[in-house]
Amino acid sequence: MTAATSPHGSAVHDVWRFRELWRSLVVRNLKVKYQRSLLGFVWTLLNPLLTVAVLVTIFTYVVRIPIPGYWAFVLSGYFVWSFVQQMLSTGTYVLAEHAPLRRSVAFPSEVLVLAAAASRLVEFAVELALALTALVLFLHGGVPASYALLPLLVGIQALLAVGLTMPLACLSVFYRDVQHALPVVLLVLFYACPVFYPASLVPEAARSVYLLNPIAALLTLYHTVLYEGRWPSAVLLGGTSAAAVGIAWLGYAVFNRYKRLFAEIV
């Protein structure tokens, strides 16, 4: 019953066909955000660095978290959390932001989410480079072998974030209060994930359940690889990778099912 040819059908190759749109949306996102603001790229770093500074001060001098080099611990996970958090927030408005474009041209809406992810990844890369420099120079005094896993971790992170953002973006089209509900969820998630405390402080009995949260698992992987400079357990790495792939697949399936209705929702 559905229509057959080019603007009407849609699949993964469609996303590839619109790669140029993807690329120019990324450039556009970054441009709109930074080009016309005075400090430019410095702004991306200021906010997360300030948060890191606050966390480090509080949990080193006030509430003492007993791990050596606490600053390095926070630095090795905070940007990952901030990436996930920003992706989810973006998901609640990205489709509404481009509503006029979606109503006047037919193109696969997932490109909008993917472009948002790609532009966030560019910002993340800058933050990560900074964190890596500090960790290598002041913590390890060299590059630990475990850092070879970084590309895999970033891959998991991207799949996970996109997989969670797609259904959220869908939901936001139909229900407008999603964007007001999300900060509450994020607040809970912030405490439910090892951002300012290590997963090792979670009681042994509860830890396996705790790590069922893929974001918590991802952060633990980052801590093991970047902060401890050790290889993570194969179970955790394999499990988290599988979860990321599964979530991305499921999220895309949900998005694909509902996206044909987007243009009609005003």
Partner 1 sequence: MKDSAAVLCRDVVKRFYHYEHRTTSLREFFIRSVLGRPIHVRRASFTLQDFELRVERGDAVALIGDNGSGKSTALRLIAGIYAPTAGVIETRGRLAAVIELGVGFNPELTGAENVALYAAVMGLTRREIAQRSPEIVAFADLGDFIHEPVKYYSSGMQARLAFSVALCVRPDVLLLDEVLAVGDQGFRARCVERLQDFRRGGGTLIVVSHDVDTVRQLCERAVWLDRGRVRLAGPLDAVAHAYAGTVGSTTA
What residues line the site for partner 1 (CB under 8 A)? 1-8, 17-18, 20-21, 23-25, 28, 31-32, 36, 100-107, 171, 174-178, 181, 260-261, 263-264
Q: Which is nearer to partner 1, 36 or 205 (CB)?
A: 36
Between 35 and 60, CB nearer to partner 1: 35
In this structure, the number of other CB atoms found within 10 A of the CB of residue 178 comes to: 18
| Least distance (Å) between residue 157 CB and partner 1 | 27
**In the complex, least distance from residue 167 CB atom to partner 1, rounded to whole angstroms:** 13
Pair 153, 224: CB distance under 8 Å: no
Nearer to partner 1, 165 or 241 (CB): 165
DSSP 114-127: HHHHHHHHHHHHHH
Nearer to partner 1, 223 or 259 (CB): 259
Contact 96, 168 (CB under 8 A): no
Is residue 182 within 8 A of residue 92, CB to CB? The reply is: yes
Cα torsion at 257, 259, 261, 265 (round to 10°)? 140
Q: Can you list the alpha helix ranges (DSSP code H) found in 148-233?
A: 150-174, 178-192, 204-210, 214-222
CB of 141 to partner 1, least distance (A): 44
For residue 59, give both structure tokens.
């949990």
User: In the complex with partner 1, which residue's Cβ is closer, 22 or 252?
Assistant: 22
Q: How far is the CB of 27 from partner 1 (least distance, A)?
A: 9
- The DSSP code for 69 is S
Residue whose CB is less far from partner 1, 204 or 264: 264
Min. distance of Cβ 180 from partner 1 in angstroms?
9
Tokens, residue 193:
């994930």
Instruction: Name the minimum Å distance from CB 12 to partner 1.
Output: 16
Distance of CA 112 to the CA centre of its chain: 15
**Token pair recorded at residue 67:** 């791990």
Q: How far apart are CA 67 and CA 265, in angstroms?
A: 51
For the record, the structure tokens of 161 come out as: 């974030």
Q: Classify residue 251 by burial, with Cβ atoms within 10 Å: 0-12, 13-18, 19+.
A: buried
Min CB(105)–partner 1 separation in Å? 5
Of the pair 50, 101, the CB lying nearest partner 1 is at: 101
